[in-house]
Each structure stands twice: as structure tokens, then as C-alpha cells.
């Protein structure tokens, strides 16, 4: 689906500043503000540009540079963009996800699902420098069943059973949920959940279990 790229970048800028709050203007890699790095990565991923291609593309896109408050003669080097993606903390992306999800209507009815991502496709330079031996990440998502907005994500290098990660994700969002649908892998969560959990959380667990 085609998008208005300038509108996309402006929306990302607004959401990034809102999500980061007082930390938005803090300089990170290369002395550029944190919000600029976040939006640069949104732009890069949306357009499927490599790290090296990103500053080259920006050099000829005046409106996008203006939205990012970047001068044509002072664009971040591709190595700066690469390093910032590595260094941005997980709370940055979680805050951006939370603010982004709030832009969509939420029905209160969500779905839990887990999948796996192969890390072996990551650049060998990064794997060697980070000393990472993790080959696969397990990702659990909580998605609104009507708007399909992703409400929360749990990422783990250590594959806990779904009966462990499922309740953890639901508890974080229990106040906003009416029901949660999940496949059989999650279905023992009630017996694995302490009775001291809040009523709203426990209702979310059980609402769709009998379907």
C-alpha cells in the first residue's frame, strides 16, 4: 500500500516526541536528538533502505530533511545511524509502540500469539561485536482484534512457556482489556496464575477460554 512519505515522517516525528517526552531532545549518536534517530529508523524501514542508502536518499529529499530539521550539509553518516539503532534502549521502542497503539480505536478484545525470529540473519559484524550467541528470539504479541493494532510485545532470548509469558503480557494491559483470545498453548494460564491477581486481570484471562 502506497503512503504519503512526508505525512508518514511528520506523524512519526509527532509520535516520537510524544513518546519520548523530556528525553526527545537529548543528543545520542553523532550529537543528533534522540527523536531524530527514531524517525530516521522509521523512514529507513518504511522505505526499505540500507543504512548506507539512508543519508544518500535524504540528500535529495528536501521536504523530508525539513521535517527532520536536518541540513543538507550536516546529515548523519550511515555509521551513526547504524550505531544509534544498536544503542537505542528497549524503553524507547516500547514507548513508541504504546503511543502508536493509542492512535487506533481499541475494542478491549485482544488476541495473544507467539512466534519466533531468526537472529542468524543479523550482520556477522554485529553478532561478533555484541558477543551474542542467541540464534532465535521468541516474540509474544497482544493485538486488538478489531483495529489489529499491536498493543504490547514481549521479546525473550530464553523461551519461557506461553503459560508464563501470556499472563505477564495480559497483566500489563489488564485495565484496558475485556477479553483475550489465545490458542491452546496459553490455555493453562488460569491454573498457573495466583488467585491474588486483580479481578480485571483474571476476567481477561477467562473471558474467551470457554469458546
Nearest to 97 by CA among 36, 154, 145: 154
- The dihedral through the CA atoms of 104, 108, 113, 118 has a sign that is positive
Domain that holds residue 69: 5-99
Query: 95 with 115, same domain?
Result: no
pLDDT digits 0-9 by tens, 18-72: 999 999 998 887 789 999 999 999 999 999 999 999 999 999 999 999 999 999 9
Global pTM reads 0.72
| DSSP bridge partners of 143 | 111, 150
Establish if 211 belongs to a structural domain.
Answer: no
Query: Do residues 186 and 162 lie in contact, with contact meaning Cβ atoms separated by under 8 Å?
Result: yes
Query: 76 with 156, same domain?
Result: no
Establish if 164 belongs to a structural domain.
Answer: yes
State percent of the chain over pLDDT 90.
42
Number of structural domains the chain divides into: 2
What is the rounded average pLDDT of the residues 5-23?
Answer: 94
Query: Do residues 114 and 156 lie in contact, with contact meaning Cβ atoms separated by under 8 Å?
Result: no
Query: 59 with 81, same domain?
Result: yes
Amino acid at each position: 500500500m502506497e503512503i504519503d512519505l512526508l505525512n508518514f515522517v511528520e506523524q512519526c516525528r509527532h509520535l516520537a516526541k510524544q513518546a519520548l517526552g523530556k528525553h526527545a531532545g537529548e543528543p545520542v549518536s553523532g550529537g543528533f536528538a534522540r527523536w531524530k534517530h527514531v524517525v530516521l529508523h522509521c523512514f529507513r524501514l518504511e522505505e526499505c533502505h540500507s543504512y548506507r542508502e539512508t543519508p544518500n536518499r535524504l540528500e535529495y529529499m528536501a521536504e523530508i530533511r525539513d521535517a527532520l530539521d536536518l541540513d543538507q550539509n550536516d546529515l548523519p553518516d550511515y555509521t551513526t545511524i547504524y550505531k544509534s539503532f544498536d544503542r537505542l534502549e528497549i524503553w524507547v521502542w516500547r514507548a513508541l509502540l504504546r503511543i502508536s497503539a493509542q492512535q487506533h480505536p481499541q475494542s478491549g478484545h485482544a488476541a495473544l500469539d507467539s512466534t519466533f525470529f531468526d537472529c542468524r540473519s543479523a550482520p556477522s559484524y554485529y553478532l561478533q561485536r555484541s558477543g551474542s550467541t542467541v540464534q532465535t528470539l521468541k516474540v509474544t504479541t497482544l493485538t486488538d482484534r478489531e483495529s489489529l493494532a499491536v498493543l504490547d510485545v514481549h521479546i525473550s532470548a530464553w523461551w519461557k512457556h506461553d503459560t508464563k509469558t501470556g499472563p505477564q503480557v495480559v497483566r500489563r494491559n489488564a485495565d484496558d482489556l475485556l477479553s483475550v483470545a489465545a490458542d491452546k498453548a496459553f490455555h493453562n494460564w488460569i491454573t498457573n496464575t495466583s488467585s491474588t491477581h486483580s479481578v480485571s486481570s483474571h476476567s481477561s484471562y477467562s473471558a474467551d477460554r470457554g469458546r
